[in-house]
Structure 1
């Protein structure tokens, strides 16, 4: 009887573990839909939005913006994301930033392949190639949030 009871407990434990494992998203997937987008010069308190959609080839399109209604300052993003790991994304496309007090108020355009990484307990991926077109150690923190 003890062996039967022990076997039942073991089976239940294994099934419970499998069920919770099966509910986890695949390691190289993103949640589709709306995500917050911020550029530190504009605001972390009033994020913009991006839409992320999965494509047939396993990549994701990402498109959206954050815009300050008063100043006209903005960040826009339009391209594709490849999930390298849950904390690392490769982006291919265009990112444009404009902030009136940086780069003479001109648009800074980045066109090509870039990387977004989430470090530590952060709940967002941050653009790693963050140098602004102005130079002078000026950086743009472009962040895409998990939720």
Structure 2
């Protein structure tokens, strides 16, 4: 009888510890909802645009916004969903559009599908990892979503 009681206590403690670790891990896979700064290096890091991030019921987040240069019309837009893989890794599914007059003949570069944002080192932003612009020729777009 005592052996069964000890086994039951150990099993309960193991399950509780496992659940607590799982809950803490899931809680770490969240990001702040609300407005975040958003930039494309061709436009400006000094005058960021803005995205709105909102949590959905299925633990994903919607993300939508833009950065636009009012003088030139150059822009970057984002519209889709984010999954938080870790506090430094996001998976994006949706569309990112960039247009800069001196890149890709001034035409819009549209990326639709699944992409990845990473925050490396001490950076305070997640950067799109699939950076190649539609122009090719080793031209890259630094599309960044800032923590705040």
Does the alignment reach a TM-score above 0.5?
yes
Which residue number corresponds to residue 134 of structure 2?
133
CA displacement at 1:59 relative to structure 2: 0.1
Q: Deviations over 1:91-110 (max 9, x none)?
A: 00000000000000000000
Which residue number corresponds to residue 40 of structure 1?
41
Which residue number corresponds to residue 20 of structure 1?
none
Look up the SS of the partner of 1:51 in the other structure: strand
Q: Deviations over 1:61-95 (max 9, x none)?
A: 00000000000000000000000000000000000
Which residue number corresponds to residue 58 of structure 2?
57
CA distance in 2, matches of 1:33, 1:45: 20
CA displacement at 1:26 relative to structure 2: 2.2
Pair 1:27-2:28 in alignment: yes
Which residue number corresponds to residue 117 of structure 1?
118
CA distance in 1, matches of 2:29, 2:123: 18
5+ residue gaps, structure 1, are 1-24
Give runs of ≥4 in structure 1 deviating > 4 Å.
none
Which residue number corresponds to residue 108 of structure 1?
109
Look up the SS of the partner of 1:42 in the other structure: coil
CA distance in 2, matches of 1:27, 1:129: 25
Look up the SS of the partner of 1:104 in the other structure: helix
Which residue number corresponds to residue 99 of structure 1?
100
Q: CA RMSD in A?
A: 0.9
5+ residue gaps, structure 2, are 1-25
CA displacement at 1:134 relative to structure 2: 0.0
Which residue number corresponds to residue 22 of structure 1?
none
Which residue number corresponds to residue 19 of structure 1?
none
